Structure 1
Amino acid sequence: MTKIKYNYSNLANLPTAYGSFKIQSFKDEKGNEHAILIKGDVENRADVPVRIHSECLTGDAFSSLKCDCNYQLNYALEYISMFGFGIIIYLRQEGRGIGFFNKINAYNLQDNGRNTIEANHDLGLNNDEREYSAAVEVLNKLNIQSVKLMTNNPLKIEYLKKYGINVIDRVSVISKKNTFNDQYLEVKKHQLSHML
C-alpha cells in the first residue's frame, strides 16, 4: 500500500440524534476530504466498534430507498452510541467508488432493467472501485488494537486484515428490504458475496 500524506483538521463536537460525537475531517494528497466520527475514548483501545462507510449522497442525504446505505449509517450511529465508544470513518468514494456522475448514469440504466453490476459494466466500470487505505491510516493513527467491524462486505474485512488491522469480530448490519432495493440487495448477496 502506497503511503499517502494526510492532513487532519482539529476535532470538533458533533451533537446528533444518536448522542454526542467528536468529528474530524482529513484530506488525502488527492484532495479528497473524508470524515471521522468518534464516540468515547478510542485511542490505544481494543475491541473498538468501527464502521467504514462509503459516501452515498442519494441514500445518506436524500433517504433513497434504492439502496441500504442510509440504514447502515444510522444503524452504526445508534449501535456505537449504545455501545458507548466507537468510530465511523466516512470515505468520499461515492457509488462504490465510481463517483456521483457515473452513479446517476448507472441509476438510469437500472431504471431500464440493468442491475447494479450490469450498469457499471455498461459504463466501462468495475463492480466496485473502492479502496480503504484512508481507513487503515485512521485506525493506525489512533493506534486501535483491534476492531469489531460493522459490515456485510467480506472484501472490506480482507482488505483491513491484509494491511495489518486486527479484525476480531464482524457486526452484521442486516438491512430492511423494500420494493425499490430488493434486486439491489440480491445482487449484493449473490454476485458480490455480501453476508446478508
Structure 2
Amino acid sequence: MTDTPAVRPHVTFEVETTVPTTHGTFRMRAYRDLDTGADHVAIVSGQPTDGALVRVHSECLTGEAFGSLKCECGPQLDAALDTIHNHGGVVIYLRGHEGRGIGLINKLRAYKLQEEGLDTLDANLALGLPADAREYVAAADILRDLGIESVRLLSNNPDKRNQLTAHGIEVAELVPLVVGVGTFNESYLDTKRDRMGHQLPDHLDTGYEAS
C-alpha cells in the first residue's frame, strides 16, 4: 500500500489581531506566501463557514492608496469590506498582484501604452507580459485554513472562480460587484467584459465617478 503524498502548503499562518476600521471592526489574519514571499491578509467578519461570502482582492496601490480613476479597485475593496461587515464573510487581500500580477512599474508602463491607444490587455502583451499573471492557490489555502471549503464569490471575474475550483474550493455562485464606474475607466471595464470574460453589464453606467 502506498501512502498518499502530503499536499505542500503554499502559505503559513503568522498572526491574528482585531483591527477597527472605517468599515467596521474585523479580525485580520496574516499569512506568508511560501511561493512568492508576499504577505497576505484575511479580513474576517463574524464566524464564516461553508457558503460564506468571500472577496478575493488583488492589491492595487494606484487605485486604493492614490485614488486612481483608471480602475475600480478602490471602490471594490471599500464595497467588499462594507458588505462583509454587514453580512459576515471574508476579504482575502492578496499582495504582489499589482497590475494583474505584473508589478507596479510594469503597470505604469502599461498605462503609458494605453495613452498611446492600446487597451489594457494589449498593453500588457506589448510589454511581453501575460494579460493576467495572477495565481489564486494562496487564496485557496487561506480559505481552507479558515475551515471554508465552499464560497459565494464576490467578483465579476470567472477566472477567479475557475482557479479556486481547480484548487479545491467550491464556488456556489459569483456575486456581482459593479462599483466605481466612471469616464476614466469605461474602456478598461469594456475590455474586461469583451476580451477577458468578466461578467459586467453591456452598458456601464458612468454617472458615478470613483472617489
TM-score category (smaller protein): over 0.9
Residue 91 of structure 2 corresponds to 88
**What does residue 12 of structure 1 align with?**
17
1:98, 1:183 → 2: CA distance? 20
State the partner residue of 2:161.
157
Q: 2:175 aligns with which of 156, 166, 171?
A: 171
Structure 2 equivalent of residue 195 of structure 1:
199
Structure 1 Cα separation of the partners of residues 42 and 151 of structure 2 = 15
| Structure 1: stretches of 5+ with no match in the other structure | none
Q: Which runs of structure 2 are paired with 1:3-82 in the superposition (5 Å)?
A: 3-29=8-34, 30-42=36-48, 45-82=49-86
Letter in 2 for 1:124: G
Q: Offset at 1:25? A: 1.5
- Matched-pair identity in %: 43
Q: Which one has the largest radius of gyration?
A: 2
Secondary structure of the corresponding residue to residue 132 of structure 2: coil
Work out whether residues 14 and 22 of structure 1, in 8 Å CA contact, stay in contact via their aligned partners in 2: yes
1:130 pairs with 2:137: no
What CA distance in whole angstroms lies between the structure 2 residues aligned with 1:114 and 1:175? 24
Count of aligned pairs:
192
Could you list the runs of 5+ residues in structure 2 that have no partner in the other structure? Answer: 1-6, 201-211
- On the 8 A contact 1:4/1:28 being kept in 2, the answer is no
Q: In 1, are the aligned partners of 2:11 and 2:142 still within 8 Å (CA)?
A: no
Q: 1-side partners of 2:109 and 2:197: how far apart?
A: 24
Structure 1 counterpart SS, 2:123: helix
Q: Is the 8 A contact 2:10 2:138 kept in 1?
A: no
**Partner AA of 2:18 in structure 1:** N
Structure 1 distance, partners of 2:149, 2:137, is 17
SS in 1 for 2:15: coil
Alignment partners' CA distance in 1, 2:149 and 2:141: 13
Q: CA deviation at 1:5?
A: 4.4
Deviation (angstroms), 1:187: 0.2
The TM-score with structure 2 as length reference comes to 0.87
Whole-angstrom distance in 2 between the partners of 1:7 and 1:142: 12
What is the CA deviation profile of residues 112-132 of structure 1, one whole-angstrom value per residue up to 9, with x for unaligned ones? 221101110110011100010
Could you tell me which amino acid in structure 2 is paired with residue 36 of structure 1?
Answer: A
TM-score by length of 1: 0.93
CA RMSD in angstroms comes to: 1.3
SS for the counterpart of 1:10 is: strand
